[in-house]
Structure formats: C-alpha cells, structure tokens
Amino acid sequence: MSPNAKQTAPANAPSEARRKKLLRLIRKQQLEALLVSNPVNVSYLTGFTGEDSMLLVTKDRTILISDSRFETQVEQECPDIDAVIRKSGEAMHKSIADLLGKLALTGIGFESSDTSFALWQRINAEVSPGTLKPTHGLVEELRQVKDKGEIAELRDAIQQAEKGFAVLQVSLVPDMTEQEAAHELEHTMRRFGAKGASFPIIVAVGTRAALPHARPTSRKLGEADFVLIDWGAVSQGGYNSDLTRVLWTGKASPKLTKIYNITLEAQQKAIEAIRPGIACRDVDKIARSVIEKAGYGNKFGHGLGHGIGRDIHEGPRLGPSSDTILEPGMVVTVEPGIYLPEWGGVRIEDDVLVTKDGYEVLTSVPKELEISRWG
C-alpha cells in the first residue's frame, strides 16, 4: 500500500505544468494539498484515462489512488507520478485516510462539487476534525486556458464534426427523420476519427427548433421549411466541439430570413469583440443588445456561450452575470438564438479561440443563407 516512487520515469510535461499551476492555487487557498475526485480533472493533471481513481496533489508529491485493474495502465499513462494501488476489498476511503495520515497533512482541500457526501463522511470519520476543507473549481479554473496540445485536440474535434456534417448535408432528403439524421451524423463523425458525439445530437425540424434542447423525434425533415442541427464530436484525446447550423429545407420565408439575419448579426458582432481583457458579460451584452433592438430580447433566454474542452460545457461562461475576463487560450462557443414557440427557432453556434491580440474562429461550416439551402 505504500506509494511506489518512480522518479526515474520521464515526466508528462503538460500535466506537470498544470500541477505546478494548481499548487499556486492550493497555496492561495492556504491549503497543503488538494484531493481531486473529478475523473476529468484527474486525467487533466496526470494523463491517466482510467476510472474510479483519485489524486492527491501536495507540494512535494503527486499520488494517484487507483486499484489493481488499472495497475498497468497507470504505469503506462503516468509513469512520472506515484501510485497507491488498492487491492480488491480495500475501500477508497481507507486508502485515502491512511495516505493522509502517513503524510501528516492537516489542511486538505476536496472538490466539493464532485466528492460525494458519503465518501466525504467516510474519510472525515478517519481523520482529525477540520482536516478536509471544501474547495470549488480550482482545477476547472486552470482548464479554462488551453495549452497548445489541447487546442490541437479541439481543432481535431471540430474537423471531425465538420467533415461529418458535410457528408450529412449532401445526404439529407425530405423523408429522413430527425432521429435518422442524428444517427447518420454521429456515425459519419466516428468514421472521420471521432470517439463519438460530444452530446446527444439535436436535429429539430421547424417548430421543434423552438426548444433549445430538443431531442430528435420521428418527424421528417421535409415537414417544415428548416431544420436546426446542434452537434459536436469528441476527439480521440477527449476534447469536445460544439456547433449549430440552421438549414433551409424549403422556402426561406421573409420571417425566417429576418430572424436568421438578426441572429447572425448578433453572433458576428459578439465574435468581433472577442479579445483578451474583455469581460464575458460584455461579449454577451453585445449579442443581446442586437437581439433586443430587433424586439426579440425576451426570446433569447440562455447565455451567449460556454467554454469547451474535456467537458462540453465548461468555463468560461459567456452570460449576463459572468465577470470572467477573457484570456489568450480560452476557447468559447458563441451561440445566440431566437426562439418563437409555435414557429420555431434559430441558433448559430461557432467555436472561437481567444488569441494574444483578438480571436480566431476555429469552425468553418458556411452560414450564408444561400449556401445553407437545399431541397
């Protein structure tokens, strides 16, 4: 049960750099260590992709607490960090409590949004009162700014999504159902190398597009003049892309054209404002005021966008109450929408990287009305 030291192994450079940054945040919280339970955060800090494992990050040590199913995987994926391999029957809370006791740590942060109350209770019963202290979003704060490798992963995820969409677009026929289109798109993205879809794909025909989170039904594409598709791919490294397009499948009526153009203008203006130093709420406001001026302010009920990365929704949020300041390396969606019950909805979504002096739109599916039209 003692941590096996593996100092001779080569370091996983990105993970090591992330842990160094995390230590600064841990110190700022006046803690000695952080117990990481969120599997996405564990993987981000170590390169380990298995399950049921937790990570303890202290000033001098990084220790992964895993079990015998993952022993080889731990050695292969993160040879540079120490591991406690639990034998079958050894409970996680026991291993953690033993480790904390051995290291004589007294101020240990835990991830309050991810550690279950039951696990907290069990560990807490084994350590001195007050040892465990709740923290919130420390690793998530680091994850907001992507390094080079992560941006490359996001570009892959976007390319897989876009290639899949291009194939779907030419195979759409009026008789195809929302469900069939969603299935076809996921299948095609996988063929282009994606691990899968980054969330259940939304294909919403006509009035169904008024629901921002519509689930595909047996409704046929030919039953209305337009279809909204919101989709994304997961890259092999586990990064998520997220796009939305509206395709005209019938006649582009004046109302449709009007709503579409307002949404597009809102999106364009917001994207152009993206640069380091601007507050997320101000980017949101730029898009929102275009929609408000056009008289649809109360029909845009969600935030303008969100960060993408290992999670499909992560920081920073672009919303009216988000005071996060954009920094180079952040990647956000910009997705204004106008939803009119009983008529339908329009949302246009692209993925945007904050660069040193502005922005780069990473997605490239055309969104001009003419190009989007089919049928």
Residue 241 engages Zn ion in binding (rule: CB under 5 A) = no
Residue range at the interface with Zn ion (CB under 5 A); choices 7-15, 221-229, 239-247, 275-283: 239-247
∠ CA 38-25-325, nearest 5°, is: 90
Closest contact distance (angstroms) between CB of 143 and Zn ion is 17
User: Between residue 317 and residue 346, which ones bind Zn ion under the rule CB under 5 A?
Assistant: 333
Query: What is the token pair recorded at 267?
Result: 């999106």
First-residue to last-residue Cα distance in the chain: 65
**Who's near 301: CB < 8 A, 6+ residues apart?**
212, 339
Quick note: the x/- pattern for Zn ion over 278-317, rule CB under 5 A, is ----------------------------------------
In the complex with Zn ion, the residue whose CB is nearer, 244 or 249, is 244
Both tokens of residue 295? 């008289």
CB of 243 vs Zn ion, minimal distance in Å = 6
> Cα–Cα distance between 61 and 66 in angstroms, integer?
16
211 CB-near residues (< 8 Å, 6+ apart): 204, 339, 345
Phi, psi of 237 (to 5 degrees): -85, 0
**Whose Cβ is closer to Zn ion: residue 77's or residue 156's?**
156
Choose, by CB under 5 A, the member of 111, 180, 186, 242 that binds Zn ion. Answer: 242
- Residue 178 binding Zn ion, by CB under 5 A: no
Distance CA 220, CA 145 (A): 41
Judged by beta carbon, residue 333 or residue 363, the one nearer Zn ion is: 333
Q: What is d(CA 65, CA 37) in angstroms, rounded to the nearest whole number? A: 10
Site string for Zn ion, 182-221 (x = CB under 5 A): ----------------------------------------
162 binds Zn ion, rule: CB under 5 A:
no
Total residues contacting Zn ion (rule CB under 5 A)? 5
Q: Which of 82, 230, 284, 351 binds Zn ion (CB under 5 A)?
A: 230
Give the whole-angstrom CA distance, residue 257 versus residue 305.
Answer: 23
CB of 123 to Zn ion, least distance (A): 36
Which one, 66 or 244, has the nearer CB to Zn ion? 244
Instruction: Determine the Cα–Cα distance for residues 310 and 238; give it in Å rounded to an integer.
Output: 6
Residues contributing to the site for Zn ion (CB under 5 A): 230, 242, 244, 333, 349
